[in-house]
Chains A and B, each alone.
Chain A
C-alpha cells in the first residue's frame, strides 16, 4: 500500500529559480485499488509519479513522506531504490516502445525483469515469463517469446510492458497515461486487462491520466490535480455525481460528450499560474467562477460526506481533515 503524505517537489529551472511542481499532496493507494490521478498538462501529476518512483529530475527537492508498505522511500540510496523499482513498485508509461529494448526478445525482457529481483534459474524465469505473457493476453506466448518488440503492435507491446511490470508482484503500479498512445478499441482492451489484473493480484494502481472517461471506466477513486495540488479526491461515483470543487466541475463540464451540439462548451478562462511564484491562496482563484475575498488565503481541506476531501472555501462548513497541514 502506498501512502503519499504532504509531498512537495521543487525542480530547479534557469536563473537559479525553482518551480514548485507538486505543492503538498496527500494521497493513498490501497491494495487492489485503482486511483485515478487526473489533471491537465503541467499540473504535476507525472512529477508526483516520478517522486514515488524515485525518478525526479536531478537537483530536485522532495519533502513530505512517500510510504510504501510502511517504509519511507525518501531516504533510500540510489541502489536501494533500484531494488524497490521493478520489485515493490513498477512503472507503465505512455510509450511501450521506449520501455522495451528493441534488440531483445520480448520474453527475455520479461524473464530478465524476474531474474533482476529473484534468484531463480533461467529456465524457471522463462517458464514464468511465458505464463505472464499468457496472463496479459499475448496469444500463443511460448511461440511469441522470442520475437523482438517490432513484431508486436502498440497494444501488444503495452501488454508486454505490463507483464514485465507485474513480474515480481509489486504492491503498487504507477501507470502514467498507459493508453494515451493507443487506438480506442485497443485502449478498451488494455483498461480491461488492468482492471482484471488488479482484482486478481491485489496490486494497487495509481493511474495518471488526462482522460476523465478513462477514470470513470476503471478507477475506484479519483484525485483531481490543479497547479501542483490535489483540489478534490473521493470515490469516482461521488466525485462524478457531485463535484464539489469548481475546477472539478469545470473540467467535467468542458467534456464534449456531455453537451452534443446544443451550443458552446463551457470553458475555463485564463491561464494556469506560474509555479515559480505560486499564488498565496487558492491556486485556481484567478480562473474560478465562484471566487471570493477569502480565496486569497489557502483554503481549508475538508472531509466530504462520502469520505473524500476537497480544498475549497465554498465547503468550509464541512469538518476539516485532521492531520492535514497547510
Chain B
C-alpha cells in the first residue's frame, strides 16, 4: 500500500505540572512509528498516559514533537508554517469526542460547517451555501438543521455536524479522537456506520483513536496498541484480535468486558496500576506489570520486530516489541 501517513521516531515531552525547579517531564511519546495507507483506518488503542491523543495532535500539526518525523503524502509536516501548514491542514481534519467543545455555541450548524469552507476558500460564496446543504445531507442531517444551534441537537446529531465540518475541506485523512465515546451505544452504532460509509464513498482515511477495543475492532484495517508512550504491537485488525502476541495486548483484550455471560472473567488479567509517564519504568515500560518478564526486561528497550511470515507485499507486517514472546530468529 502507498503510505498516506508515515510517522517515524516521534518523541514528545511536556513539563510536568507542578514540578517546579526539579523540571520533571511527562514522557508522552518515546519513539513512535506508524504507517497509514490511503483510504485505510488505523485504530490506535491504549489506556491513560499511553500517548494516543498526543500522537493524534502531532499528526494534526497541533503539537510540535521534540524529535521525529511526520510525513503526510510525502511532505514533512513537522516544522511547517504559514500557508504550507494551512494547505496540509486542509487535507488532515479532526473529529473530537465532544462536538459541543469544537462547535461555537452561538453559531448555527450551517455557519459552523460553512466556516471550514470559508477558511480554506473552497468554491465561490454561492457554491458554499449549496455545499453546506450537500454536506449535511452526506452525514444524514436535513437542510433544516442548518438553522439550528448545537444545544438544540442531540449528541449524535452534533457529532454528525462535527463530521460534516471535518469533510468540508475535502480531506484525505480524518484524525478522530474518541469520536463515539460520549455517545450511547445505539447512537454510537449510527456514527460508526456513517464513518464506514464515508470511507467507502469518499476514500477518506481515518486515524481512529479510542480506548474502546470493540469499537476499534469494528472500524479498523490496522491496529496499534500503545502503552506509556510506546507502540507495543501493530498488526492487521484480524491478526491482532485473533493472535495477540504482546503480553500487554493480551491482558488488554482479556480485560474488555464482553457482553456474553458465558465468557466471564475468572481472574484479573492485569494487577497493579499504570505507572506515571512522568517517571516511566526503565527498559520495557510494561515490565513491572508483566507476567512474563525476565531480568533483561528492566534494562533493554525492545524494538518493534516482525513476527510470523509475510506472504505478500500488501500485507501489514505484524510487529511486536517484546523479545520474550518472539521466537528466536535464525
- List chain A positions with a Cβ less than 8 A from chain B: 40-41, 153-156, 183-189, 191-192, 210-218, 236-237, 240-241, 250-252, 254-261, 264-268, 271
Contacts and interface: CB of A to CB of B under 8 A. Distances in A.
A240 B261 contact: yes
Given A186-B273, A188-B270, A255 B257 contact: no
B330 interface: no
B73 interface: no
Nearest to A40: B184
A213 B273 contact: no
B252 A211 contact: no
Contacts of B192: 256, 265
Interface of B: 47-48, 154-155, 184-190, 192-193, 196-197, 211-215, 217-219, 237, 251-252, 254-265, 267-271, 273-274
B47 A266 contact: no
22 contacts: A41-B155, A41-B184, A153-B273, A153-B274, A184-B256, A187-B255, A188-B254, A188-B255, A188-B270, A192-B267, A212-B185, A213-B259, A216-B263, A217-B258, A251-B185, A254-B188, A256-B192, A257-B259, A259-B218, A261-B217, A261-B218, A265-B218
Given A186-B273, A257-B258, A264 B196 contact: yes
Nearest to A237: B261
A265 B258 contact: no
A211 B215 CA distance: 13
B217 A264 contact: no
Given A156-B273, A185-B252, A212-B259, A254 B189 contact: yes
Given A153-B273, A188-B268, A266 B189 contact: yes
Contacts of B261: 216, 236-237, 240-241
Contacts of A154: 48
A255 B214 contact: yes
Contacts of B213: 184
B181 to A, nearest CB: 10
A38 to B, nearest CB: 10
B255 A185 contact: yes
Contacts, number: 127
Contact of B258 (A191, A216, A218): A216
B169 to A, nearest CB: 27
3 tightest A-B CB contacts, nearest first: A213-B257, A257-B214, A256-B218
Contacts of A187: 255, 257
A43 B128 CA distance: 40
Contacts of A211: 257
A214 B257 contact: yes
B242 to A, nearest CB: 11
B186 A184 contact: no
Contacts of B193: 264-265, 267
Contacts of A41: 155, 184
A155 B273 CA distance: 8
B256 A189 contact: no
Nearest to A266: B189
A250 B185 CA distance: 10
Given A192-B265, A192-B268, A217 B257 contact: yes
Contact of A267 (B189, B197, B263, B274): B189
A211 B254 CA distance: 16
Nearest to A212: B259
B259 A185 contact: no
Contact of B259 (A184, A215, A267): A215
B291 to A, nearest CB: 13
A260 B185 CA distance: 15
Given A41-B155, A241-B261, 10 more contacts: A184-B47, A188-B268, A191-B265, A210-B185, A213-B256, A215-B259, A217-B258, A217-B264, A265-B193, A267-B190
